[in-house]
C-alpha cells in the first residue's frame, strides 16, 4: 500500500518530465514448494474479494482526488508529531501552493490521468501481485479456514470490507499513526541493537566482502 502512496506524493512534489524512463528489469523468479491445488483455488476466491482487478487504479484515484488526500494535504508537520525550528508550521497544501500556484489543478489532472492509466495497466501489473497474494494466502490458511473466510467475503459486509481494506492504509489517520511510531522506534533502536549484538556475540564474525580486483 505504501508504494502507491509514495509514488503519488512523489509525482505531486515533482511533476513528471517528458524524458522517458527505461523499463525495469524483469523480477527474478522465486522457486517455492508447490501449494495444495484445493487451497490455492479457495485462496484465489479470497484474493478476488481482497484485491479485485482495478484496485490499484481506484487506490490512486481515491487518494489523489478524494477526501483522504484532502485531509492529508491539510495536515502540517506538527499535526504529524514532527517538531523543530526548520519544520514548516503550515499545511502541506499551503507549502505546495507557495511553489506551484496551479497545485490544485495539477493534482486533479494527475489523479485523473494516473487513475485511468493504472486501470488500463491493471491486468499487466496486478496479475503477478494477485497470483503471489493467492499463493501466500493458500500457504497460511487451511481449506476449512479459507472456506470460512470466503463465506464472510460473500456477505454484503464482507464485500464492503474487501473493497475498502487497501484504502484503509492510505487514510490520513492511519498514516499519521504510522508516523507517530517513529519517535518510539528511534528512541528504542540503540538499545535493541545492543541486545542483538549481545545475542549474536557467540557467532563468528561474517567475512568481509572480497575486494574487487581492477580489470
**pLDDT tens track for 37-54:** 999 999 999 999 999 888
- The residues near 93 (Cβ < 8 Å, ≥ 6 apart) are 73, 74, 103
Residue-level pLDDT at 64 = 65
Residue-level pLDDT at 29 = 58
Q: How far, CA to CA in Å, does 109 sit from each of 9, 136, 170?
A: 14, 36, 20
- The residues near 147 (Cβ < 8 Å, ≥ 6 apart) are 42
Helices (H), ranges, 87-171: 92-99, 103-140, 143-153, 156-168
Residue-level pLDDT at 9 = 45
Residue-level pLDDT at 5 = 44
Residue-level pLDDT at 1 = 41
Q: What is the pTM of this model?
A: 0.63
Going by the DSSP 8-state scheme, the letter that residue 16 receives in this structure is P
Residue-level pLDDT at 27 = 53
Residue-level pLDDT at 67 = 63
Residue-level pLDDT at 169 = 83
Residue-level pLDDT at 32 = 66
Q: Are 43 and 147 in contact (CB under 8 A)?
A: no
What does the alpha-carbon distance between residue 169 and residue 59 come to, in Å, rounded to a whole number?
10
Residue-level pLDDT at 3 = 43
Residue 182: alpha-carbon gap to chain centroid: 17
- The residues near 105 (Cβ < 8 Å, ≥ 6 apart) are none
Residue-level pLDDT at 20 = 44
Q: Which helix (H) or strand (E) holds 190?
A: helix 182-199
* CA nearest to 14, candidates 111, 100, 105, 121: 100
Q: Which helix (H) or strand (E) holds 59?
A: helix 55-65
Q: Which regions in the chain score pLDDT beneath 70?
A: 1-32, 61-68, 81, 211-215
Residue-level pLDDT at 4 = 43
Full DSSP string of 86-109: TS-SS-HHHHHHHH-TTHHHHHHH
Residue-level pLDDT at 18 = 42
Amino acid at each position: 500500500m505504501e508504494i502507491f502512496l509514495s509514488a503519488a506524493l512523489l509525482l505531486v512534489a515533482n511533476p513528471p518530465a517528458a524524458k522517458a524512463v527505461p523499463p525495469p528489469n524483469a523480477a527474478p523468479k522465486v522457486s517455492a514448494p508447490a501449494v495444495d491445488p484445493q487451497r490455492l483455488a479457495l485462496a484465489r476466491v479470497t484474493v478476488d474479494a481482497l484485491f479485485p482487478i482495478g484496485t490499484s487504479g481506484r487506490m490512486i484515484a481515491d487518494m489523489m482526488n478524494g477526501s483522504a488526500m484532502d485531509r492529508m494535504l491539510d495536515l502540517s508537520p506538527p499535526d504529524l508529531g514532527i517538531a523543530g525550528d526548520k519544520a514548516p508550521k503550515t499545511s502541506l497544501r499551503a507549502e505546495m501552493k507557495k511553489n506551484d500556484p496551479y497545485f490544485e489543478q495539477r493534482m486533479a489532472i494527475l489523479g485523473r490521468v494516473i487513475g485511468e492509466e493504472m486501470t488500463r495497466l491493471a491486468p499487466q501489473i496486478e496479475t503477478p501481485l494477485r497470483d503471489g497474494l493467492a499463493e501466500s494466502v493458500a500457504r497460511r490458511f487451511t481449506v476449512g479456514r479459507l472456506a470460512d473466510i470466503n463465506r464472510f467475503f460473500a456477505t454484503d459486509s464482507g464485500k464492503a470490507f474487501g473493497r475498502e481494506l487497501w484504502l484503509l492504509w492510505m487514510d490520513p489517520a492511519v498514516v499519521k499513526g504510522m508516523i507517530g511510531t517513529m519517535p518510539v522506534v528511534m528512541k528504542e533502536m540503540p538499545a535493541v541493537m545492543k541486545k542483538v549484538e549481545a545475542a549474536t556475540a557467540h557467532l563468528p564474525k561474517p567475512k568481509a566482502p572480497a575486494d574487487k580486483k581492477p580489470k
